[in-house]
A and B are shown apart, each in its own frame.
Chain A
Amino acid sequence: MRTTIILKTASNYLLPVLLVFSIFILLRGHYLPGGGFVGGLIASIAFILHSFANGLNKTKELLIMHPGFLLPIGLAISFMSGLAPVVLFDLPFMTGLWSHDPVAILGSVGSALFFDIGVYLVVTGVTLTIIFTISESA
């Protein structure tokens, strides 16, 4: 597939910008529109755009590991954020835990944020795995 030089150049800059944007969306989710699900989708779009411009192999090199590995990692983070109250404070599964003092930029940090990070990783992993696999077999 031939790609224009404009897309190629742009994608190199767009990738980090989009990734930062996706993390921004993820973090603001608690107060404003956004969240792990949308964030994950945006992150995967960023990588897919990169792969369109530079070829799948380049993107894979960039990722170092197969996006499939994000699935267990994400699931584990989400699950552990739910498990934390059980283990640490003997509260029911998925009780929200919150830090007392708000953190700069993020606002008050709680277990829900880690849960959302897990969702973010899983969604990215799922989308990239499916799309990479299908385009590889194309």
Chain B
Amino acid sequence: MLTAILTGFLFSIFLVFTGRFFKGKLSILASLIPLGLFVYFFQFIPAIADGNVIMKSYEWIPSFNVDLGFKLDGLSLLFSLMITGIGFLVFAYTSSYLKGHEYMDRFYGYLASFMGAMLGLVLSDNMITLFVFWELTSITSFFLIGFNNTNPASRKSALTALGITGIGGLFLLAGALLLNNMTGTYSISEMLTMSEAIKSNEFYFLAVLFLFGAAFTKSAQFPFHFWLPGAMKAPTPVSTYLHSATMVKAGIYLLMRFTPVLGGENIWNTTLVIVGGITMLYSAVHTIFRTDLKGILAYSTISALGILVFLIGLGTQEAFLAAAVFIIVHALYKATLFLVTGIIDHQTHTRDVTRLSGLNKIMLPVGIAGILAAISSAGIPPTIGFVGKELTYEASYHSESMVIFLMIAIVLTKIFLLYAGFVAGIKPFTGKLPEEHANTKAPGFILWGPPLLLATLGIVFGVAPFIIESSLIKPVVEALGADASEMHLALWHGFNLIFILSLITIGVGTALYFIIKPSEKLEKGIARLDFIAPENLLEKFNALFVGFSNFWTNFFQNGYLRNYISIIILFLVVLVGYIMIGNTNFTIDYNSLSKITVYEITTTMILIAGIFYTVFTDSRLAAVAAMGVVGLSICLIFVFYSAPDLAMTQFSIDTLTVILFVLVLYKLPKYLKLSDYKTRVRDGILSTIFGLIITTLALQVLAEPVSKEVGNFYAANSYIEAHGKNVVNVILVDFRGADTLIEISVLSIAAVGVFGLMKLRLKMKDRRRYADTSLNVENENKKK
């Protein structure tokens, strides 16, 4: 199973080296990867349908309880099949859609990594692994959305999507850590057995909140939905793959996966029903106001995701059944519609639905696919969409409270979705062919094959729902913790209230389609309300944040080294001083002091003289030299108190510091008095207080009873265990060698940083000089 997940990543690495072979005719071969994976997962169907669960676990970080645990049950199997199946069609479609594109290999690389990440996400049984793959899908989708990286709008929406889903990822991590804290495990299967304990835990609410944060951002629920329409800037294969079938369903997957663990409580169900309800209705209504085909599809996708969240929230066995069926329904028709839109865009170079009609005269197979998908999305028999809609209505009808309210919401949503499906799938293909598209070329088989196949599947499953009933749907419902043995999928449910509602939906929706024509006027009308849209509020908040950060940065990071140092010292003085006041008392035990020797006095005198000279001299160079004197005096004191290692290092460092200072000072102008008398006094007071505080602190540390244990251990073991007599050095290279290793790495990074900064500036200078000379040459030419 690990191999299956890694295949996508390996393929993209493989593409790095062989990419140029995959840009041409061979590109269609890339689709063999998802096809192979699809076949691999397909063969698990009988085993899963029998109620088996396949677990695979590889050790990863055992000390943190994190392993690469994978679990294949009904739920993950359904998602894996969708990921690889639709993946196969999208891979094939891309080879024609992006034919001749310069960076096609890159695109396949991103797409394959995304597929790997997505498979990992739905198969992970360990929450940390789940989190890692979750984030990987965000990152790979960032590259896919921003694939047209020369377009600023595309880059911006990629960033927005990454930002929103990235924040969601952090929520997931927080949830994982919290759940681990509550249960002592990261394994979702183990959490299943502790469901009751988790629900009665005081942090249950918080855990639910974190998981909701993750799921709602990923699955574009209100008010986080706005990244999804923005993400439509991506090439259509990406929209098809990520934004209809896979990535946005990750949030749904998460909710479904945790339904048996966290679900069943009031807060879980009510929140999901409310958020899902708002999302589905809000964005379904929004579809009326769009003229861009992909915009319509984006909003109808959000609405469909809302329906799924809503169904999970209902939490009944019927609702789970409806959700499972609707996932398949939606994946089939929405992927078809996206692919169809891509073909239209590819051939006619427009996605403006007001300018599209009568295209079936040119691309009949595409038209058939579009119309079939539209029928399925409308829930007209005999499509699987009809089965899904009936189940959805039934689930809402049998809910425990607020039945009428829920029914109105879901029926209205479905009416608008029907409208959206018709506009996207039927409108471009009926009516008169406008002249501007008369010369449109017909698309090739590789383009129209995939959508037609998907649309046909929608009909096949509708006519014969038993194909997917026990093989796919029932295991999913069982994975959600409900009993599925009594369930039965059928096209005909009898003539009852639900059927009447279905008829009403179809009737009103169709009427709506003929009454409301998508137009720019409508789009502009809704734009007036944009100021209260969540997206706009977020942008205003962002602007505020940026403004504040600018102010804050300019205040503290003003580029004056002296201010930085003053602020740091002031902060320390206030913080340490505050603690010290009242906690410090002085007693001097004159008997314990050792005798003062002549050379100590002499060194201290030199040291003090050096300090005064540094402060009052008028020459920079002299100040640096005097500081060197101070450093060397300290060296001497180290020697007196038997710390030769320290003294040696201090000596070399001091020498080098002086050299470094001289090198820098050499560049500065002759000594100028930059600070006036007042600042000097202020700085003087500040540094005196700082010195006093540090001295007191040092004395206090000395007065503390010292634990000799550590020191004694090193002294005792340095020769026995590390064969060294110099304890200091043994600590550095052996006992705490890992620290040293990290320290020298940091040193190297610092050196590289200095090198980079200085060299970069040099190059800029060279460039400017070059620019100057070229100007001169020009001027001279003019003179001639």
Contacts and interface: CB of A to CB of B under 8 A. Distances in A.
Interface string A39-59: 001101100100000000000
B688 interface: no
Interface in A58-80: 68, 71-72, 74-75, 78-79
A78 B742 CA distance: 10
B734 A112 contact: yes
Given A31-B726, A34-B726, A131-B656, A115 B748 contact: no
B755 A131 contact: no
A32 interface: yes
Nearest to B644: A33
Contacts of A71: 748, 751-752
B504 interface: no
Given A41-B656, A48-B659, A136-B758, A119 B740 contact: yes
A35 B729 contact: yes
Nearest to B646: A33
Interface string B716-742: 000001111110111011100110110
Q: Is the interface of A mostly helix, strand, loop or mixed?
A: helix
Tell me which of A35, A74, A125 has the highest count of chain B C-beta atoms within 10 A of its own C-beta. A35
Interface in A104-118: 107-108, 110, 112, 115-116, 118
B423 to A, nearest CB: 61
A124 to B, nearest CB: 11
B672 interface: no
A79 B726 contact: no
A73 B376 CA distance: 65
A129 B652 contact: no
A136 B744 CA distance: 24
Interface stretch (B122-130, B194-202, B336-344, B662-670): B662-670
Interface string A116-128: 1011001101110
A110 B734 CA distance: 10
Contacts of B645: 33-35, 38
Nearest to A37: B649
A117 B751 CA distance: 19
Contacts of A122: 744, 747-748
B723 A35 contact: no
A131 B659 contact: yes
Contacts of B729: 29-30, 34-35, 116
Contacts of A41: 649, 652-653, 656
Contacts of B721: 96
Interface string A84-106: 00000000011010100000000
B669 to A, nearest CB: 14
Contacts of B751: 68, 71, 125-126, 129-130
A134 B737 contact: no
A22 to B, nearest CB: 10
Given A34-B645, A68-B752, A125-B751, A112 B722 contact: yes
Interface string B159-182: 000000000000000000000000
A42 B651 CA distance: 10
A135 interface: yes
Contacts of B738: 82, 93-94
Contact of A94 (B730, B737, B747): B737
Given A29-B729, A119-B744, A134 B723 contact: no
A4 interface: no
Contacts of B667: 138
Contacts of A25: 648
A112 B737 contact: yes
Contact of A123 (B730, B734, B747): B747
B717 to A, nearest CB: 11
A112 B758 contact: no
Contacts of A29: 726, 729, 733
A3 interface: no
A70 B761 CA distance: 23
A29 B725 CA distance: 9
Contacts of B649: 37-38, 41
Nearest to B753: A130
Given A30-B726, A32-B725, A122-B747, A115 B761 contact: no
B399 interface: no
Nearest to A25: B648
Contacts of A116: 729, 733
A137 B645 CA distance: 34
A123 B663 CA distance: 19
Nearest to B642: A33
Contacts of A93: 738
Interface string B745-760: 1011011101100110
A74 B744 contact: yes
B655 interface: yes
A33 B643 CA distance: 9
Contacts of A110: 722-723
Contacts of A118: 744
Given A98-B723, A131-B660, A45 B759 contact: no
Interface string B422-453: 00000000000000000000000000000000
B762 interface: yes
Nearest to A120: B744
A133 B655 contact: no
Given A71-B752, A123-B747, A130-B660, A30 B655 contact: no
Nearest to B665: A138
A32 B723 CA distance: 12
A82 B755 CA distance: 28
A89 to B, nearest CB: 16
B723 A129 contact: no
Given A118-B744, A129-B754, A134-B758, A34 B648 contact: yes
B754 A133 contact: yes
B733 A134 contact: no
Given A45-B656, A75-B748, A82-B738, A115 B755 contact: no
Contact of A126 (B664, B733, B747): B747
Interface in B624-681: 644-645, 648-649, 652-653, 655-656, 659-660, 663-664, 666-667
Nearest to B762: A137
Contacts of A133: 754-755, 758-759
A112 to B, nearest CB: 4
Interface in A1-40: 25, 29-38
A112 B733 contact: yes
B656 A35 contact: no
Nearest to B653: A41
B652 A38 contact: yes
Contacts of A82: 737-738, 741
B726 A38 contact: no
A99 B726 CA distance: 19
Tell me which of A118, A123, A137 has the highest count of chain B C-beta atoms within 10 A of its own C-beta. A137
A79 B748 CA distance: 14
Contact of A129 (B728, B744, B755): B755
Contacts of B752: 68, 71, 129
Interface of A: 25, 29-38, 41-42, 44-45, 48, 68, 71-72, 74-75, 78-79, 82, 93-94, 96, 98, 107-108, 110, 112, 115-116, 118-119, 122-123, 125-127, 129-131, 133-138
Which 3 pairs of residues, A with B, have the shortest CB-CB distance?
A41-B652, A33-B644, A126-B751
15 contacts: A29-B733, A30-B725, A33-B644, A38-B645, A68-B755, A72-B748, A74-B744, A93-B738, A94-B741, A98-B723, A115-B741, A130-B754, A131-B659, A136-B762, A137-B758
